[in-house]
Structure 1
């Protein structure tokens, strides 16, 4: 684990998207009532979109593990996208509108408090915090050099080849799913294109049927673990190239 001080900000921020998700049990599919209730209770500009999965019958969604947590509708609220499924809800914010962790956490807690108020959630199975970053470069050799790893496979050392890597790292009650992919090409909201290596850190807390009330306000430690794992994935030279700011 990284022992050096963590930056509080990066002048060259590689963030693409931040996402929080909670999965739960409820007496009925949350997608049938939650979008409308959130729309009525959240203040500010907002609109609801139905997603393609909404056309699939509930019985089929329940039977297919790939669809069980798929978003059915999306509420666009301020700079956040709130995706609602039958058994889950996620809150996402994309660059360049991501407001920073403190404001993102406040939005998460506001939505969770609404869920508590309307008594829709029976118990929580897991929650996760996921940050997706893209470090720009068109050179495969440079993309490989960005990552804090040494890979040799079949007597071949990775130096300038395209690659994908997925690793699950347990840390106490958390599971960090680290996904790294070279040669990525992303179209940003302003229609500009960014090419480089994706560093995707998904930090998952597996819970034992806890109440929703126990979650509110407890995400700072999970976010810190996620942040540490991101910087652990990078070489010191890569971190310096992102122009870190420290307290």
Structure 2
């Protein structure tokens, strides 16, 4: 189906691109080179920075955790940096794809241009959406295009649903749909969460900015498709017509 350009109002509360990479360079110099690309952003240390680098590097569960967080003056853009990971977060008002994509392109170019002999081992683009009753005509998860049955009986909210699908050979999709009772973090009221995370499977690597951005562009299309398939057609039409 033809996807809408956007909803009015949109439901995006956070959009993220994460890049994981390997490099033979000195880890402290890697972090310093990345931070310098956003030298006008404020910097805070994250709790993970208190663990010694060898411990983080030796634990697969810790290796890709950021140790520093950089924030723009208006707080709408955050960059998180670790020795083998960097991510960019759009917060507090999504600027639209045309406004967001240049920041993602910069992120890719910074990794490939400032990290010593880098190999990008994982890309992930993720959109977190909070649906509202009055704004989006979604009173609960039950108003989404989701039908779950157990022993032929419909499962009613509150509920949480996580599922994974392959979109292409190079794009895996993890989608989470949840009632507010199962979501920790948001301070604003909402009726349903839709979290779509598109990422590379194990195996493919990238060392070229153009190929990275081709993957990102396709990933963005897949995020949109998987988000809109969870909305009922009448809901989409109503929000498009506003």
User: TM-score scaled by structure 2?
Assistant: 0.85
Question: Which runs of 5 or more residues in structure 1 are unaligned?
Answer: none
Q: Distance in 1 between matches of 2:37 and 2:89?
A: 18
CA deviation string 1:157-201 (max 9, x = no partner):
123x3101000011222111011111256776xxx6222110000
- Spell out the pairing of 1:224-235 with structure 2 (5 A cutoff): 224-235=221-232
* 8 Å contact from structure 2 (residues 23, 119) kept in 1: yes
Q: Distance in 1 between matches of 2:129 and 2:109?
A: 29
2:123 alignment partner in structure 1: 127
Q: Structure 1 residue runs of 4+, over 4 Å off?
A: 184-188
The alignment of Structure 1 onto Structure 2 pairs a total of residues equal to 233
User: TM-score scaled by structure 1?
Assistant: 0.83
Q: Is 1:40 equivalent to 2:23 in the alignment?
A: no
Label 1:213 to 1:187 Cα distance change in 2 as closer, same or farther (>3 A): closer
Q: Is 1:56 equivalent to 2:51 in the alignment?
A: yes
What is the deviation of 1:28? 4.0
What is the deviation of 1:214? 4.4
* 8 Å contact from structure 2 (residues 34, 114) kept in 1: no
Q: Is 1:13 equivalent to 2:10 in the alignment?
A: yes
1:23 alignment partner in structure 2: 20
CA RMSD of aligned residues (A): 2.6
2:153 alignment partner in structure 1: 156
Question: Which runs of 5 or more residues in structure 2 are unaligned?
Answer: none
Q: Is 1:109 equivalent to 2:105 in the alignment?
A: yes
CA deviation string 1:13-40 (max 9, x = no partner):
111100001111111465x234533443
Q: Distance in 2 between matches of 1:221 and 1:182?
A: 29
Q: Distance in 2 between matches of 1:69 and 1:101?
A: 26
